[in-house]
Amino acid sequence: MSETSIPIAKLAGVCGWPIHHSLSPVLHNYWLRQAGIRGAYVPFMVKPWDAIRAFRSLKQTTISGVNVTLPLKTSAFRAADEATADAHRIGVANCLFMRDGKLIAHNTDMEGFISPLLQRRGQAWLRQRTALVIGAGGAARAVIGALIAEGVPEIIIVNRTDETADDLVTQAGLPSFYSLPWAQRSLATHRAGLIINASAAGMSGYPALDIDLSRAPETGLVYDLIYTPERTPLIAQAEAQGLETIGGLSMLIGQARPSFRLFYGVEAPASDPSDLLRQALMTGQR
Ligand code: NAP
């Protein structure tokens, strides 16, 4: 067999610092097995201070692409030769892939966030709601970008550090998107048919999100991006009040599907991998 005819396994992965906690390898390798693709998806530790050089060196390899997680999403965006419209919109990348020899920055968090919401309630519902977004980091940018793209008519942002939320509003420059002081977060739920926690509060190792949902509309939906733990204190509070909820596992799966398509050239299998991910979360297996 000549050297050129040896089939090369399709290789992709996820970069972070640290990266041992990521569920993405469990998910992508499960899909690879299900789809019968000869390939692998591996975690890569990438030093934040050397991330741009590390990402650019991908062009010298046969790695077809990588997902990028904290704290490397801005470096990934900066390292790329070009960026897709979704990555440009929010200025951070959670996905790098190769196209015609160039390194392309993309963001699948927007699609990952919005898909479960569209499946659950649809675009017409979204276009009649006020959304309250809690947090102003990278995930909040993706959430806000997706809500604007879907035509949500009013978006309120609150963040523990008020100035960061104010900066996002100034950058966007849209009359339908404004900030309220952190001190008014519980009051703001009164107007919000859709309440989204895009902050780190409630994640394992962090304090619970300090918010009172008792004023939220009865028909409201609470969406927590966090999936460690799966049932966050915010989800528990919402359920106790009879509010509908969406947890972070849905977004994790939603953002992984377009990445899989880009890395391996086929759609991820349609079956729901939530139970597999729950098991990995419980056992700590990666
Ligand atoms: P990030 O850029 O580091 O931003 C963190 C945000 O959380 C900031 O707005 C920060 O406020 C706020 N925050 C931190 N501790 C807080 C506390 N104790 N009380 C209130 N607010 C607090 O992180 P990120 O990338 O946006 O991620 C945010 C969360 O989304 C993480 O929990 C992450 O796991 C989750 N996420 C989930 C998915 C998914 O697929 N399900 C995807 C992306 C992210 P300050 O500005 O005041 O620091």
DSSP letters for 84-124 = -HHHHHHT--SEEEEETTEEEEE--HHHHHHHHHHHHTHHH
Q: Is the CB of 22 under 6 A from ligand 1?
A: no
Segments in the chain below pLDDT 70:
1-7
Q: Which of 193, 229, 179, 187 is nearest to 208 (CA)?
A: 229
d(CA 111, CA 93): 13
Annotated binding residue 60: no
| pLDDT recorded at residue 8 | 79
For 163-219, how does the pLDDT look when each residue is reduced to its tens digit (9 = 90+)?
999 999 999 999 999 999 999 999 999 999 999 999 999 999 999 999 999 999 999
Residue 5: its pLDDT value, please? 62
Amino acid 64: pLDDT: 95
Integer distance in angstroms from the first to the last C-alpha of the chain? Answer: 36
Instruction: Please tell me the distance from the alpha carbon of residue 12 to that of residue 193, in angstroms, as a whole number.
Output: 39
- How far is the C-alpha of 119 from the C-alpha of 246, rounded, in Å? 11
- Between the alpha carbon of residue 190 and those of residues 143, 156, 160, 178, 281, the distances in Å are 20, 12, 19, 16, 34
Instruction: Please name the residues in contact with 129: beta carbons below 8 A apart, sequence gap of 6 or more.
Output: 152, 153, 154, 192, 193, 194
Pocket lining: 248 vs ligand 1, CB cutoff 6 Å: yes
The percent helix, strand, coil of the chain (3-state, each to 5) is 45, 20, 35
- C-alpha 200 – ligand 1 centre gap (Å): 3
pLDDT at 1: 47
Q: Which residues are catalytic?
A: 73
Say if residue 167 carries a ligand binding annotation.
no
Q: What class is the 3-107+252-283 domain? A: alpha beta
Residue 206 assigned to a binding site: no
pLDDT of the residue at 6: 63
pTM for the model stands at 0.93
Structure tokens at 196: 């989204």
- Quickly tell me which residue has 């996905």 as its tokens: 95
Q: What is the pLDDT of residue 285?
A: 83
Architecture of domain 110-246: 3-Layer(aba) Sandwich (3.40)
Task: Check for a shared fold between 3-107+252-283 and 110-246.
Answer: yes
Domain segments of the chain as ranges: 3-107+252-283, 110-246
